[in-house]
Amino acid sequence: MIDARQSLRGHFSLRPRQLIGIFLAQLIGFTLLFLGGQLFLDIRSATKLRESTMGKEYRVITKHISALNTLSSALGKKGSRSFSEEEIKQIEEKPWCRRVGAFSSSNYQVLASVGVEMIGEELSTLLFFESLPSDFVDVPKEEFRFDASNPIIPIVLPKDYLSLYNFGFATTLGLPQLSESLIKRVVIDFTLYSETGEVLRLKGRIVAFSQRLNTIVVPEDFMQWSRRELGLSSQTAPARLIIELNDTESMAMKEFFEANDYEVAGEKSKTEQLNYTLSLVSLFVLALGGFICLLVFALLLLSLYLLIQRDLHFIKTLFLLGYTPRMVRQNYFRSILPVYALAWGIAILITLGIRFLYHPLLNVLADVGYFPFVELLLLALFVLLLVVGMSRFFLGRKILRMY
């Protein structure tokens, strides 16, 4: 009886060369599929961690300045580079936009003066002010507040301005380099001039340095108060907008900016570019692995179909002896199930090994301590069950037609 069963199983088995070829091809397909999925999960985890540690993402946009805009401005036509209320509302309705803030420019001149005791002279320069909602300024609100009863202007400068002075201007001219704490102690005299001849003299100080904003920022309530004091009631439309984003990698957002000829201030950071590149690579590897798995699956089914065709007379004899299509299918399926299981297990081990090698690269995006092993295992189980289920289905249907 045992010899008969062994002889029976021999009829249902593929040749060793066929099994080895299918095993190697399935191993490559599984490995690429799992590696693409693992890379995608790691990038997603690193991106979420970076966003949670670095905070919200913002973009500052302006309209493109063409030669025609320059000519219009020279002729005194203002507003050609400004954003209308309809354009702002259109941006706010986009799914990638969380909220929009408008930069408000001072329509008066600003003269800043600082006395230098060491040389006994006063240094003066023309500046400009801009304001925007305090929620968009990366400075604590208690530090960035204006009190009309004690009119001292709190000012936020870009951190790059201080770096340019220390490592460019000061180094070239032999001037002393300044620290942030020292700069914050300096009291600056401001003189504001309106076009109507009104003059307003105030004192101010730098309260913080911003890494997000590349402009000289004052509180909105100060901007409104100073306009009233200078007799300026009109407020021009904003020429710049700051957008808090829901999705920094949205292709729809990039297409929208290009279609409307909007310019985004600054270039994407290297981590963003690396994140985007790795995402594309992971999707490509995932797609390639899935494609190879499908090809191997089709090759496996073709081999089984040829085997069934070879054993056609033998299978019909088994049906006459009382075997059901399910029993015949099970015997054929037992010959390929170990190949699936072995390729599946080794592919997971290879994926974990490669993940160990590329893991230091992910630390450029964020310090990824979390290992999404559960998600990888669920993906691998899903793929295995899908391949096994499809094999059983197509194999059973082929044998059922012969019944």
* Assigned domain for 243 exists: no
* Assigned domain for 99 exists: no
What digits encode the pLDDT tens for the residues 273-305?
656 666 676 677 667 766 766 776 676 677 667
Among 237, 257, 287, which residue terminates a domain?
Answer: 237
pLDDT band at 267 (very low <50, low <70, confident <90, very high): very low
Contact 42/362 with Cβ under 8 angstroms? yes
Among 216, 237, 258, which residue terminates a domain?
Answer: 237
Give yes or no: residues 48 and 110 share one domain: no
Global pTM reads: 0.56
Among 237, 258, 281, which residue terminates a domain?
Answer: 237
The better pLDDT of the pair 345, 251 is held by 345
Q: What is the DSSP letter of 122?
A: E
Give yes or no: residues 283 and 382 share one domain: yes
* Assigned domain for 77 exists: no
Give yes or no: residues 116 and 232 share one domain: yes
Mean pLDDT of 55-59: 74
Residue with tokens 């080895």: 20
Give yes or no: residues 318 and 390 share one domain: yes
Q: Residues 6 or more apart from 216 whose CB is under 8 A from it?
A: 127, 128, 129, 130, 155, 156, 157, 158
Bridge partner residues of 200 (DSSP): 192
* Assigned domain for 254 exists: no
Residue 309 has pLDDT above 70, yes or no: yes
Please tell me the total count of domains within the chain.
2
The better pLDDT of the pair 4, 309 is held by 309
Q: Pairing relation of β-strands 130-131 and 109-116? A: unpaired
Distance CA 135, CA 217 (A): 13
- Residue 12: predicted pLDDT: 52
Give yes or no: residues 389 and 295 share one domain: yes
Give the number of other Cβ atoms within 10 Å of residue 385's Cβ: 10
CA atoms 276, 279, 281, 287: torsion sign: negative
Share the mean pLDDT of the chain: 76
- Residue 6: predicted pLDDT: 45
- Residue 190: predicted pLDDT: 92
What digits encode the pLDDT tens for the residues 13-32?
566 776 777 778 778 877 87
Distance CA 110, CA 126 (A): 6
* Assigned domain for 261 exists: no
Give yes or no: residues 111 and 180 share one domain: yes
SS3 230: coil
Give yes or no: residues 135 and 223 share one domain: yes
Give yes or no: residues 228 and 287 share one domain: no
* Assigned domain for 33 exists: yes
pLDDT band at 33 (very low <50, low <70, confident <90, very high): confident
Give yes or no: residues 328 and 376 share one domain: yes
* Assigned domain for 7 exists: yes
Give yes or no: residues 380 and 327 share one domain: yes
* Assigned domain for 93 exists: no
Give yes or no: residues 229 and 276 share one domain: no
What digits encode the pLDDT tens for the residues 123-165?
788 888 999 888 888 788 888 888 888 888 999 998 888 888 8
Give the number of other Cβ atoms within 10 Å of residue 193's Cβ: 15
* Domain span including residue 139: 104-237
The angle at the Cα of 275, spanning 269 to 280, to the nearest 5 degrees, equals: 130
Give yes or no: residues 225 and 128 share one domain: yes
Contact 391/72 with Cβ under 8 angstroms? no
Residue 71 has pLDDT above 70, yes or no: no
